[in-house]
Amino acid sequence: MNKVKIALLGFGNVGSGVWKILSSNEEEITERAGYKVEVAKILVRDLNKNRGAEVPKNLFTTNPDEIFEDDDIKIIVEVMGGMEPAKDYMERAIKSKKHVVTANKLAIATIGDDLLNMADEEGVALRYEASVAGGIPIIHGIEECLTANKIKEIVGIINGTTNYILTKMYLENMSFNDALKEAQEKGYAEADPTSDVEGYDPLYKLRILTSLAFGERVDVNSIYREGISNIEAIDVEYAKEFGYVIKLLAIVKDVDDVLELRVHPTMIPARHPLANVNDSFNAVLIKGNAVGDLMFYGRGAGDLPTGSAVVGDVISILRNNMDLNKVVDKPNRVSKKKVNNIENAETQYYIRTTVKDVPGVLAEITTILGKNNVSVLSVIQKGKGQEYVTLVFVTHKTFEGNMMKSLEEIKELSSVQKIDNVIRVENGYKG
């Protein structure tokens, strides 16, 4: 049996997962890949750190030259995360004629096109299945299985941390802070959870999916992003009252050949297939013009699910490129679509306000909404006999620009103390 040497850049959560899978599934991987996969080197920052895995100490190095200058190492697995030095290392690997497998969503979302072009020029592969939705084969699904389709829409829960938090808030009536603390204690959230709870992580992933599905090099900074840190327990309760569940969704839609991209908390009907995706699980709904609706579901994070995607990419390279010398990775770039401004996005809205309990306040608000072509679907008032009460609205579908203009005018009403929260509502799925 032929043997191929690979190297790991990083040995944190994902890197250790890769090692565990290669070790425990060695026989199956060898049979499926056609090669015995040997980890020759592992790049780390600190040789003295306790790794918690049974790895020979001679495999660890702090010197990247030992990897990039070793012609026997054919595949580099980058599981460091972040932009630098990961970007530099991936570029160096490609220029050294080594194939690259990465789980780095930030790098792929921001410089992935440049890396792919560089890999194509050098005749090597760049694979990144693990950069989106952990162990779910969503990238392979779009790149290979759905290439005969015109994809019209992708809607997904692609961040396990925020989904865990929102699940705890919905099912156990936890506050946001308590649910976040529990997520951190269980290792689902980082000590600094900003990337997850403020929506940056799913933003990067949405950009990757958009590039694959629509062939568009969208500037990641142009995608509308909103996190879940403003979601309060009271909003979850109102969602239940209206028959909704709150999820952080990543959405891209092709509306008359114009792409609409956004990441934000969303109320969806309790019957929606994404409504019962709970805890740290991920799920992605794809609508194709030929295949119809498909749903990918599974663990979106963790050492073994993400490690599974990484090892799957290594096997894919070995199975498809027997000489390990020449690879042609051509992204599916077949269209040039415009990207819509968020003001032109059309959806429904949940609006929670605190207002004075005086006659005419509801009429004042609905007059402003109507003037801006916003129609009210439902209204709930909570509180009576108090100076201030809560008014909650759910609107019919309207344009974002109309909604934002209305809110600016409503804020100026003397009877309105504040607008507490605004959450978009998606009712489009007809399951």
Give the strand pairing for 258-269 and 416-425: parallel
The rounded distance, in Å, linking the Cα atoms of 301 and 280 is 7
User: What 3-state class would DSSP assign to 66?
Assistant: helix
Helix (H) or strand (E) holding 168: helix 160-171
Tokens of 412: 């100026």
The rounded distance, in Å, linking the Cα atoms of 96 and 233 is 53
User: What 3-state class would DSSP assign to 430?
Assistant: coil
Tokens of 307: 């490690």
Active-site residue list = 205
**From the centroid of its chain, how far is CA 397?**
25
Kindly report the backbone phi and psi dihedral angles of residue 342, in degrees, each rounded to the nearest multiple of 5, phi listed first: -55, -30
Nearest Cα to 80, choosing from 117, 45, 51, 122? Answer: 45
Strand-pairing partners, residue 296, are 284
Angle, CA 229 vertex, CA 227 and CA 233 arms, to 5° = 125
Tokens of 89: 């290392």
CB 346 within 8 A of CB 400: yes
The string over 362-396, giving b where at least 16 C-beta atoms fall within 10 Å of a residue's C-beta and e elsewhere, is eebbeebbeebebebeeeeeeeeeeeebbbbbbbe
**From the centroid of its chain, how far is CA 172?**
24
The string over 128-164, giving b where at least 16 C-beta atoms fall within 10 Å of a residue's C-beta and e elsewhere, is bbbbbbbbbbbbbbbbeebeebebebbbbbbbbbbbb
Overall residue count recorded for the chain in this entry: 431
